[in-house]
Structure 1
Amino acid sequence: MKKSLFLLAIIAIAFTSISFINKPAQVEYKVVTAVESIVPNGIGRSRMIMATEDKDYQEFTTLRSDDKDKDEKNKSKRNEIRVKNYEETKLLNFYNLGGIRFQNIAANDAVMSSKINAMISEGWELAFVNTGVESEGGKGDGKGIFITRYTFKRVK
């Protein structure tokens, strides 16, 4: 009888272990975008943005193919795509009247670090960081932005 119970317990443990191994973890992602102005004289706007509502990309996607008759045009309107619920954190511009302002860069680093630390304390893991610069748009207009996208992930 003891051997049967022991064998049954071993089988139950093995079955439970296998069921955990076969189930991949469900992961969710969240993007936080920092937009920092590189407009001289400090007249630009700098912000850190995070959507607080979800959107399903499929609602705004058109599937294209070689057969134009099978294409279904997506009828969504721009206002349906817009997110009305988001978190906006002020940041300082890179420039002021005196030129580049290193103190502003340090202040932005402190604010962004605070956001990253808050996300990590909520169970998010920083997965990717992407950056981009649009400077003067090739027009010599003295305008531009520096964008950093922080992509976080966590197990649901």
Structure 2
Amino acid sequence: MRLIQFLIPIALFLVGNITWSQTIEYKTITVVESIIPNGLGRSRMISSEEPRDYKEFTSSRTAEDDERNKSDRGEIRLKNFDETKLLNFFNLGGIRFQNIAANDAVVTSKLNDLAIQGWELAFVNSGVESFSGESDSNGIFITRYIFKRLKN
């Protein structure tokens, strides 16, 4: 009996200190919102539904071997992705705050759905290439949401 009383705390200590190997997977959602006046741009939320292995499209360059990467763009491109239509920030009257609020509601719906699926928001990264006048027809605001979860 004393031996069992002695071994139980040791066993509990050992089991409590075992490190379980857990694999984490990541998912990226990209939101592209047009900031081109007159509603001429396209705004979308994009979610890839087809995996890609970066190693298939990566080459290592050195001083001895400086050959550029010759990956086929067609092999990198994918056909299976979700594309959610969003509204543009501008229309003929200028900034449309209703459109921004509508986009927020749609993006929030996607974020909530991913949370229900077990995804945890890990990082948010955004950037802008702004419209700079009549001679510049470009303008987008991009936000990338990076999610993570334990892989099943």
For residue 86 of structure 2, the aligned residue among 88, 91, 99 is: 91
Q: Does the Cα contact within 8 Å between 2:33 and 2:140 map onto a contact in 1?
A: yes
RMSD of the TM alignment (CA)? 2.0
Q: CA distance change for structure 1 residues 139 and 27 in 2, over 3 Å: closer, same or farther?
A: farther
CA offsets, 1:72-102, max 9 Å, x none? Answer: 6544210110121111111001111222111
More helix per residue:
1
Give the share of equivalent positions with the same residue, in percent.
59
Query: Hey, what does 2:16 align to over in structure 1?
Result: 17
Report if aligned partners of 1:41, 1:95 keep a CA contact under 8 Å in 2.
yes
Unaligned runs of 5+ in 2: none
Query: Where do 1:99-138 residues align within 5 Å?
Result: 99-136=94-131
* Mapped partners of 1:33, 1:90: distance in 2: 12
TM-score normalised by structure 1 residue count: 0.86
Provide structure 1 residue ranges, at least 5 long, that are not aligned to the other structure.
Answer: none
One-letter code aligned to 1:128:
F
Number of residue pairs the alignment of both structures matches: 151
Letter of the structure 2 residue corresponding to residue 10 of structure 1: P
- 8 Å CA contact 2:35, 2:131 repeated in 1: no
Which of these residues, 115, 126, 141, is aligned with residue 136 of structure 2? 141
State the TM-score, normalized to the length of structure 2. 0.88
Describe the shift of the 1:31–1:16 C-alpha distance in structure 2 as closer, same or farther (beyond 3 A). Answer: same
Task: Give yes or no for contact 1:40–1:143 (8 Å, CA) kept in 2.
Answer: no
